[in-house]
Structure 1
Amino acid sequence: MKAKFLTPVVTAFDKDGNIDHQANKNVYDHLINGGVDGIVVMGSTGEFFTMTMEQKKELIKLAVEYINERTRVYIGTSCMSTDETIELSNYAHEVGAHAVMIISPYYFSLSRESIELFYDIVAERTKANIYLYNFPDRTGYDLTPEITLSLVRKHKNIVGYKDTVTVMGHTRQLIDVMHKEFPDFEVYSGFDENFAHNILCGGAGCIGGLSNLAPEICAAWVKAINAKDFEKVAEIQKIINEMMAIYDIGTPFIPIVKKAMILRGVEMQDYCTVPFIQANEEQTAKIKSLMENTKLI
């Protein structure tokens, strides 16, 4: 399959915590013009966990209508309850999203039986195609290759998987297990630096946050690896490796990414939902230095 780089897009808010429609449109244009293969609305980078159901539906409608098939649109519809996850997933499907991405409930560690029960219920009652979202550092448990294979055997609308783990061996094992029976099952890495390794292992690419600020670099990486221009792939790998330091400038990294996008000229504000804090002067100086070193500004 052809490599793809999808953007887990930030969500632009105004100072009162409302969805900033024009700023979000500016962000989508920035990504589409940069050449990304798709936009994932309300992934972790999109602050879905602090948004109301009404805000989520407002943003889904805005994104799908404004992007208007200029690139593919995936919606993170994860909620703590199955009923709300199903409601939001079906809403996304009805307004025209291409697929949804769902992380299973977090806070308590879940058994294999509980994980499968959650996805069984959601998949059976959801019309949309579903990408599973594995993020063990946030859920407290792993969505293993064995669980994934069992789910895909039962539900034709489970078509892919995002693996947000640092160890590529985990992702490689998942790809190997799934592709023996389902060769078209799409497996994405969740960390930007693993993109090329993912493709070389037979995966679909990456859903990585750096593409928010440098979509053109990520798009060039996709073009290079699809053309088997490995000299260029290695050149961009070095740039991405250096850019990965942006994730360490602030905790969490979302306000840092928003500030970096502003520095690149995207017309938006860096307001986030509480309790996220905007980048301070010291952090902003580090962002500028990193972006200067990587020739982003």
Structure 2
Amino acid sequence: MFRGVGTAIVTPFKNGELDLDAYERLVNYQIEGGVSALIVLGTTGEAPTVNDNERERLISKTLEIVGGRIPIVVGAGTNSTEKTLKLVRQAEKLGVDGVLIVTPYYNKPTQEGLYQHYRYISERTSLKIIVYNVPGRTGVNILPETAARIAADLKNVVGIKEANGDIDQIDRTVALTKNARSDFMVWSGNDDRTFYLLCAGGDGVISVASNVAPKHMSDLCSEFFKGNLEKAREIHRKLKPLMKALFLETNPIPVKAALSLMGYVENELRLPLVPASEKTVEHLKGILRESGLL
């Protein structure tokens, strides 16, 4: 579907409404920075607080701005299989390239339940599907063996966003899924694990940091793919303070604060999220200045 960087893009708000002018500026900043895809309405896009009408408007606006230049993937995961399918069908009708489906949260399915969840959806859509494993948010961890079973059986499931911070699991997920199907892709779900996942044989990152630094993140991946390991490692080390700063508070609180400092969006979130503390904002100012982004 894509190699390199897919930006998990924020959803800008202004006075409680979608800010589509700011969104257009931000999307173009991403494309100009060289990202390979956009992931719309994920966790970073505050999807749980965006209603169905707003989803349609935001997806349609993304398609209009991008104009086929890069793939568009829409977050469609919920903890209800039928509701997830409804969101997948909305995305399919609008004409996106794929969907990102998080493992069902709160109700904590078994590994068999996870497999059947993805099987049910994959059999009912022609869209490409990316599995999203983020146990820190969902309370459930999709094991490498289950990911490999999905890769082997469900052909329109094209890859997994792996946000489990366990390096051993990352290594096993890459090895088992690619053994099951050579074209199955693995993206890091944590910016600070991108370099390690690439070294393990992965395909890139679905990134929060690229909202702020699209060229830097794109260069990290492109240098690695060109075989310039030392250059990729150097970029990774330079970006590490920014990557850490963007998770000083719950994502996307810091990234919205950073983008606000850079003039791209209002520093506005929807409850239950609130803007970053003054301490976090001051820290972000310093990091952005050191990185040449402010």
- Taking structure 2 as the reference length, the TM-score comes to 0.94
Corresponding residue for residue 270 of structure 2: 273
Deviation for aligned residue 1:10 = 0.5
Corresponding residue for residue 181 of structure 2: 182
Which deviations, in whole Å up to 9, do the C-alpha atoms of 1:79-99 show, x marking residues without a partner? Answer: 232222112212212222111
Give the Cα–Cα distance (whole angstroms) in 1 for the partners of residues 203 and 4 of structure 2. Answer: 6
Corresponding residue for residue 253 of structure 1: 251
Contact 2:100 2:129 in 1 (8 A): yes
Corresponding residue for residue 9 of structure 1: 9
Q: Number of residue pairs matched?
A: 294
Contact 1:98 1:129 in 2 (8 A): yes
Q: Does 1:195 align with 2:215?
A: no
Q: Secondary structure at the match of 1:108?
A: coil
Contact 1:3 1:199 in 2 (8 A): no
Give the Cα–Cα distance (whole angstroms) in 2 for the partners of residues 130 and 59 of structure 1. Answer: 20
Q: Single out whichever of 209-218 and 256-265 deviates more from structure 2.
A: 256-265
Q: CA RMSD in A?
A: 1.7
Give the Cα–Cα distance (whole angstroms) in 1 for the partners of residues 226 and 3 of structure 2. Answer: 10
Contact 1:133 1:161 in 2 (8 A): yes
Change (3 A) 1:249 1:127: same
Give the Cα–Cα distance (whole angstroms) in 2 for the partners of residues 84 and 138 of structure 1. Answer: 19
Q: Does 1:227 align with 2:226?
A: yes
- Taking structure 1 as the reference length, the TM-score comes to 0.93
Q: Does 1:293 align with 2:277?
A: no
Change (3 A) 1:191 1:253: same
Which deviations, in whole Å up to 9, do the C-alpha atoms of 1:79-135 show, x marking residues without a partner? Answer: 232222112212212222111110122112221222222212111112211000001
Deviation for aligned residue 1:15 = 1.6
Q: Secondary structure at the match of 1:45?
A: coil
Corresponding residue for residue 80 of structure 2: 81
Corresponding residue for residue 104 of structure 1: 103
Which deviations, in whole Å up to 9, do the C-alpha atoms of 1:60-84 show, x marking residues without a partner? Answer: 1111222111221111111232222
Q: Secondary structure at the match of 2:292?
A: coil
Give the Cα–Cα distance (whole angstroms) in 2 for the partners of residues 210 and 34 of structure 1. Answer: 12
Q: Single out whichever of 145-154 and 36-45 deviates more from structure 2.
A: 145-154
Q: Secondary structure at the match of 2:205?
A: strand
For 1:53-68, list aligned pairs within 5 A.
Answer: 53-68=52-67
Amino acid at match of 1:278: P
Give the Cα–Cα distance (whole angstroms) in 2 for the partners of residues 153 and 180 of structure 1. Answer: 9
Deviation for aligned residue 1:236 = 0.4
Corresponding residue for residue 155 of structure 1: 154
Deviation for aligned residue 1:3 = 4.4
Corresponding residue for residue 262 of structure 2: 264
Deviation for aligned residue 1:279 = 2.5
- Gaps (5+ residues) in structure 2? none
Q: Single out whichever of 70-79 and 143-152 deviates more from structure 2.
A: 143-152
Contact 1:75 1:101 in 2 (8 A): yes
Contact 2:98 2:127 in 1 (8 A): yes
Deviation for aligned residue 1:255 = 2.4
Give the Cα–Cα distance (whole angstroms) in 2 for the partners of residues 28 and 118 of structure 1. Answer: 32
Give the Cα–Cα distance (whole angstroms) in 1 for the partners of residues 221 and 150 of structure 2. Answer: 29
For 1:5-154, list aligned pairs within 5 A.
Answer: 5-16=5-16, 18-154=17-153
Give the Cα–Cα distance (whole angstroms) in 2 for the partners of residues 263 and 149 of structure 1. Answer: 42
Change (3 A) 1:238 1:3: same
Q: Secondary structure at the match of 2:122?
A: helix
Amino acid at match of 2:15: K
Deviation for aligned residue 1:54 = 2.0
Contact 2:78 2:105 in 1 (8 A): no
Give the Cα–Cα distance (whole angstroms) in 2 for the partners of residues 172 and 15 of structure 1. Answer: 44
Q: Does 1:169 align with 2:168?
A: yes
- In percent, how many aligned pairs have the same letter? 28
- Gaps (5+ residues) in structure 1? none
Q: Secondary structure at the match of 1:59?
A: helix
Deviation for aligned residue 1:215 = 0.5
Q: Single out whichever of 49-58 and 96-105 deviates more from structure 2.
A: 49-58
Which deviations, in whole Å up to 9, do the C-alpha atoms of 1:147-191 show, x marking residues without a partner? Answer: 122223332111110000112221110111111120110001111
Q: Secondary structure at the match of 1:6?
A: strand
Amino acid at match of 1:166: G
